[in-house]
Amino acid sequence: MPQKRTTIVVIGRPNVGKSTLFNRLLGKRRALVHDKPGVTRDRLEEKGDWWVRGHRFPVLLVDTGGLGGDSFIEEISDQVNTALSEADVALVLFDAQSGLIPHDRDVVRQLNESGLPRKVAVIGVVNKVDAEVHENLISDFFSLGLDPVLTVSAEHGRGMDDLKHAIAEASGFLAELSEERAQQEPREESSEGISEQDSPDGEGPEPETPIVPRVAILGRPNVGKSTLVNALLGRERMITSPIAGTTTDSVDSEVTMGGKPYLLIDTAGIRRKSKTEKGVEVLSVVQTKKALERSHVAILLLDGEEGVSDQDEKIGGMIEESGRSVILAINKWDTQRKNQEFTPKIAASLVRQKMGYLNYAPILFVSAKERRGFDDFGDLINEILHQRKLKIPTHEFTEWVRKESTVHNPMNAKFFLCHQTGRNPPTFVCHVNDPEKVHFSLKRHFINALRERWGYMGTPIRLLFIEGKNRKSLPGSGVKRAAKARKKKPTR
For residue 423, which amino acid is it?
A: R
The CATH T-level fold of domain 394-467 is: GMP Synthetase; Chain A, domain 3 (3.30.300)
Question: What per-residue confidence (pLDDT) applies to 360?
Answer: 96
Please give the single-letter amino acid code of residue 264. Answer: L
Mean pLDDT of all residues belonging to the chain:
79
pTM as predicted: 0.63
Residues in contact with 175: Cβ distance below 8 Å, sequence separation at least 6, in sequence order: 169
DSSP track, 86-107: T-SEEEEEEETTT-S-HHHHHH
| Residue 354: pLDDT over 90 | yes
pLDDT of res. 187: 44
Distance CA 322, CA 460 (A): 9
CATH class belonging to 6-182: alpha beta
Whether the per-residue pLDDT at 346 is higher than 90: the answer is yes
pLDDT (tens digit per residue) in 277-310: 444 445 556 777 888 888 999 999 999 888 899 9
How confident is the model at residue 388, as a pLDDT?
92
**Residue 249 confidence (pLDDT):** 45
Choice between 155 and 400, residue whose per-residue pLDDT is larger? 400
CATH topology agreement for domains 6-182 and 214-388: yes
**pLDDT tens digits, one per residue of 86-144:** 889 999 999 988 888 888 898 888 888 888 878 889 999 999 888 765 677 777 888 88
Residue 42 pLDDT greater than 60, yes or no: no
- Report the alpha-carbon distance of residue 347 to residue 89 in Å, rounded: 51
pLDDT of residue 415: 95
- Homologous superfamily assigned to 214-388: P-loop containing nucleotide triphosphate hydrolases (3.40.50.300)
Q: CB–CB of 212/262 below 8 Å?
A: yes
Average pLDDT estimate for 58-64? 89
User: Quick one: CA torsion of 446, 449, 454, 459, rounded to 10 degrees?
Assistant: 70
Task: Answer whether residue 480 shows pLDDT above 70.
Answer: no
Q: Pseudo-torsion of CA 346, 350, 356, 362, nearest 10°?
A: -50
Of residues 312, 306, 372, 304, the one with CA closest to residue 332: 304
SS (H, E, C) 24-66: HHHCCCCCCCCCCCCCCCCCEEEEEEEEECCEEEEEEEEECCC
Distance CA 333, CA 305 (A): 7
The model's pLDDT over 184-228, given as tens digits with 9 standing for 90+, comes to 544 444 444 454 445 554 444 444 445 788 999 999 888 888 888
Q: Average pLDDT in the 70-75 region?
A: 52
Cα(195)–Cα(213) distance, rounded to whole angstroms? 9
DSSP 284-330: HHHHHHHHHHT-SEEEEEEETTT---HHHHHHHHHHHHHT-EEEEEE
pLDDT in tens, 380-423: 999 999 999 999 999 999 999 999 999 989 999 999 999 998 88
pLDDT at residue 352 in the model: 95
Q: Facing residues of 372 across strands? A: 367
Q: Write out pLDDT tens, residues 159-184.
A: 888 899 899 999 988 888 777 665 55
415 membership: H or E segment, kind and range: strand 415-423
Q: Domain residues of the chain, as ranges?
A: 6-182, 214-388, 394-467
Pairing of strands 426-432, 415-423: antiparallel
